[in-house]
A and B are shown apart, each in its own frame.
Chain A
Amino acid sequence: MIKIYFYELRQTVYSKFYLGLLILYLCYAWLTLNSSIIQGVGNTAPFSSWSFGFYLVQQAPLMSLAFLILQWRLVSSKAKAVRILTNATLIDSRKYLLLQYMAISTAWVLLACCVVVLGMLFLFYLFGYAVSLIALLLPTLIVLFPLLIFLMGLFWLICIKQTKRCQKITRGDLTF
């Protein structure tokens, strides 16, 4: 199972699409840092929890979009076609779907980590020891964790619905 999980993770992360997405998001994050965060938000320091939280909130809509784009692989027409084959294998289709889903979620977390690390490096480079790591980790958890839970929940519902539909197709209960 772990082998399959890492295989799926590698397949997602080692793709041109993921690399392009990463570059795009880092560029956007860089622009946000350079334009609004550097000035400090609400008259607080650029390295305050408030400013860093604002930075992450600015990234949130695009990050959500990235999650949906990455997870879309699981419900795309290609995936549906492949699922007919994987459903025929010994592996439990639900478990396999969950593995795929977790692997892609991990890829998204890695993407989010890159954005967080970029923000931290930017602030450490400019303000050095004045920056408190804890002050930055707190908004990271407050912003990204609920976002991840919400997105995972939302997409898991979509996946379940799609899987049931696929199983019906495999059994011949439903036709397109």
Chain B
Amino acid sequence: MNGGDIVKFFSLLRVEIGRLLCRRLTWWFLLLTVASPFMGLFFYCPIKGSVTGTYLGNPVLAGALIGAVLFALLTALELDRIYRTHTNLLIEAMTTPMIASLCKTLSILFVVGLAQAIMLAVWLPFSIVKIGAVFRLWRYFSVYLSVLLPAMIFAVFFTACVYQIVQRLDLTIILDGAFVVFSMTIWSEDWLLRWVNPAISYLSDDFSIARTLQSVLYNRLFWLLLLSGFWCFSFLCVRRYGKNVIGSFRRNFRRLALPIFAIIFFAVGKVVYAEQPFVDHSKAELDNPDFYNINYNDFVTYSKIHVDAKPNFLTGSHFGICTIPLRNESGMTQTISFWLNPGYQVSKVTVNKIDVPFRSLDNDEQNQNTIEIDLPADKELELVMEYGGFPKEWNILSTMQGSAIQISQEGMVLANQDFSPIPRDIVDGTDTLSPFTATIALPAKMNLVAFGNATTTRIDKNADGTVNWKVEDVGGSTIIYAGDYVSQSMKAAGIQIEFLYSEKHQRIMEEYNVKQVLTDVFDYCTTHYGALSFYEDGKLKLIETGNGGGYAGNGASVMGEDSFSEEGFRDPMKGTGGREVLAHEIVHQWWGLGNMFDSSDLSDPWSSEGLTVYTTYRMMKERHGAAYAQQNYIDKWQEQVDGYYQNFYVQHPEFLDDLPEKYQIDMKNSITNMRQYCEMPLKIWKAEQLVGGEAKMDEILRELFTREIDYSYPYLTFQNFLDACGLTEEDLNLD
């Protein structure tokens, strides 16, 4: 194209945009697209548990789906219009079909941009109000612009490509539909192929979502390349001189730039897909005996590990230098190995300041890659390993990225092999556990927290404003969290408890008097049921993290932020008012974490909730009296259960059995909460009456809580409970 052609092209584009904006149909599509996030509030809600997920993530995902479908349809109708009205001959007299098609597609992309801008403006006040204290403007824009806008652009691109090849409206719409359905169904397990419903399982309120957004952006890059290649290819099929698709293809192929660009885009897209840096290639088999049967080196031991860590908070990568004093008793050369995150490369290994050979086995398994190092025959060795890169998450979590690793300006989570190499086949040579120390520079606004007994200390400030922290732990690895943590200490049941949570939650925690609630719960549960097994030296750290769920050990317990969400505090199923709900969440330390429950059947009424709700009831009865507990717990459970027993399908189960499976599952799921939070506590309460009162029930629960765990099946079952009470399932029927 020369200068004149470019001016003409932009002139045509301007006219085409003007024409498009004059059509009422365009504005209808635009209006529906702007309204589409509404569907994410009620009908399409894949993200659960956080306010950001509910009021930003879900509307955006629904908007992406509906917006993509609408703009695919608009593109198909617009491209077909000139053929439907037979005005193509007139247009082709003015310009080439390729330019006309390009103008049309670009003008629709302009409307996409307009729809996105209006959407951002319209939904902003709603998001600010609903997300409240944890709303951040950059998140709002980045989620919309990385999820919704590309979905609409890809829909336009794909439709334009298909139409340019087949030049039939019906076939284009069918293929568009298939493209959307593929993304929602058969590609749903492949995070890179999900173009319309990117894999976002959770959006944290208090902690970082950077890793999740990075993976979404990478997904967008892949599709952009692929569709750009497809777009270039489709231009070769634009009909010319009345020829059919093959004739036009031959004619257009003379413009060599198009096939060359198509090949380049396809090739780069393939590389981007194959070389994605986000998830590893761990074997699907989880209980591979080779992984656990390690031949330990009998001659080499280590006595200390020190890591000088340098995470890059802008790129999300992590670098470190690991220094390990070793003792080689064999007098011969030895080969030892370490586990490291598969995303990291080892750049240099020295022993006593001399480079030694090493190799990466690239045998990813359970998110660990083995690094082998050849040691010299010397007895006293100082191993220094330089490693780093962009950490990869375990591939079984590929559709839940951001749940295990985070490195960003908002926070950091690095656990075990994600932080530093873990000795694989060498053992600790000290009598007690060897020390593990680390130094790490963090932005000034971040505080460092370590799991278990580990301590973190602020050392000094650097010239660039960052702060150096020191981690002191024992063993071969550590788990660290960084963020805007604030700490609250208290003593309860003889335990020194340190509660670490995000500053963004401080107002809520203070409002609900978390210190008092924690003290009450720990006092009550430790007295009635026994001490938690993961208390260590009379200390316990409670750490809030970004994702739901929790884990515990070595004097620390991790709780997901969803346990402390303001919305959750208003859940009447868990308790009356925020403080009681907070108490409920902390009781889960005993029932849920201290004693685990099999959660493979989510609709099973026996879950950690039954005993947790019952314990909360007992606590409130002790605190506020029997009348309060009766009114706010027993009567409420009874009311819900009565409603449940009057339910049509409970009264006539034959109708439920005759329903298609999908409806049966929906029906069971709709009553699961009621059964777990109301029916089961009521059954436990009935059991309490049958076994002889509260004191006897406390004794039974204490026995169950402190029972010897069978680690092959560590869960507390309903049968265990019935056996301990000396009752049968029929005894607890509530009819």
Contacts and interface: CB of A to CB of B under 8 A. Distances in A.
B648 A43 contact: yes
Interface of chain B, main secondary structure: helix
Contacts of B260: none
B647 A43 contact: yes
B268 interface: no
A45 B652 contact: yes
A45 B655 contact: yes
Interface string B30-51: 0000000000000100000000
B667 interface: yes
Interface string A98-125: 0000000000000000000000000000
Given A39-B648, A43-B646, 8 more contacts: A38-B666, A39-B649, A39-B670, A43-B647, A43-B651, A126-B660, A126-B663, A130-B655
Contacts of B181: none
Nearest to B660: A126
Nearest to B659: A126
B648 A46 contact: yes
Interface residues of A, number: 11
The 7 closest A-B pairs by CB, nearest first: A40-B648, A43-B646, A45-B648, A43-B647, A43-B648, A38-B663, A126-B659
Contacts of B726: none
A127 B658 CA distance: 8
A58 interface: no
Interface of A: 31, 38-40, 43-46, 126-127, 130
Nearest to B43: A31
B643 interface: yes
A76 to B, nearest CB: 13
A124 to B, nearest CB: 13
A148 B486 CA distance: 62
A73 B658 CA distance: 47
Contact of B667 (A31, A39, A43, A127): A39
15 contacts: A31-B43, A38-B663, A38-B667, A39-B648, A39-B649, A40-B648, A40-B649, A43-B648, A43-B651, A45-B652, A46-B648, A126-B658, A126-B659, A126-B660, A127-B658
Nearest to A51: B648
Contacts of A126: 658-660, 663
A127 B655 CA distance: 7
Nearest to B666: A38
Interface in B646-680: 646-649, 651-652, 655, 658-660, 663, 666-667, 670
A36 to B, nearest CB: 10
Contacts of B651: 43
B659 A40 contact: no
A152 B646 CA distance: 40
Contacts of A130: 655
Contacts of B43: 31
A40 B666 contact: no
A48 B663 CA distance: 18
Nearest to B644: A43
A151 B643 CA distance: 37
A31 B663 CA distance: 13
A58 to B, nearest CB: 13
Interface size class of chain B, counting residues whose CB lies under 8 Å from the partner chain:
10 to 19
Contacts, number: 29
A46 B658 CA distance: 13
A7 to B, nearest CB: 24
Interface of B: 43, 643, 646-649, 651-652, 655, 658-660, 663, 666-667, 670
Contacts of A43: 643, 646-648, 651
A173 B504 CA distance: 67
B8 to A, nearest CB: 34
A44 B648 contact: yes
Contacts of A39: 647-649, 667, 670
Contacts of B643: 43
Nearest to A128: B658
Contacts of A40: 647-649
A135 to B, nearest CB: 14
A31 B666 CA distance: 13
Contacts of A31: 43
A39 B664 CA distance: 10
A124 B257 CA distance: 60
A43 B645 CA distance: 9
Nearest to B28: A20
Contacts of B648: 39-40, 43-46
A126 B658 CA distance: 8
A53 to B, nearest CB: 15
Nearest to B648: A40
Contacts of B663: 38, 126
A130 B656 CA distance: 13
A130 B658 CA distance: 12
A45 B43 CA distance: 24
Contacts of B659: 126
B640 to A, nearest CB: 13
Contacts of B670: 39
B41 to A, nearest CB: 14
A39 B643 CA distance: 13
Nearest to A24: B32
A66 to B, nearest CB: 16
Contacts of B655: 45, 127, 130
A126 B659 CA distance: 6
Nearest to B649: A40
A78 to B, nearest CB: 12
Contacts of A38: 663, 666-667
A165 to B, nearest CB: 25
B644 to A, nearest CB: 9
A127 B654 CA distance: 11
Nearest to B671: A39
A31 B43 CA distance: 9
Nearest to A46: B648
Contacts of B647: 39-40, 43
Nearest to A40: B648
Nearest to A45: B648
A76 B667 CA distance: 46
A90 to B, nearest CB: 34
Nearest to A44: B648
A43 B644 CA distance: 9
A31 B667 CA distance: 15
Nearest to B645: A43
A127 B648 CA distance: 13
Contacts of B646: 43
Nearest to B642: A43
A73 to B, nearest CB: 14
B646 to A, nearest CB: 4
Nearest to A48: B648
Contacts of A46: 648
B603 to A, nearest CB: 15
Contacts of B658: 126-127
Nearest to B655: A127
B653 to A, nearest CB: 13
Nearest to A31: B43
A74 B505 CA distance: 57
A38 B670 CA distance: 11
A39 B666 CA distance: 9
Contacts of A127: 655, 658
Nearest to B670: A39
A34 to B, nearest CB: 8
Nearest to B662: A34
A42 to B, nearest CB: 9
A46 B670 CA distance: 15
A100 B491 CA distance: 80
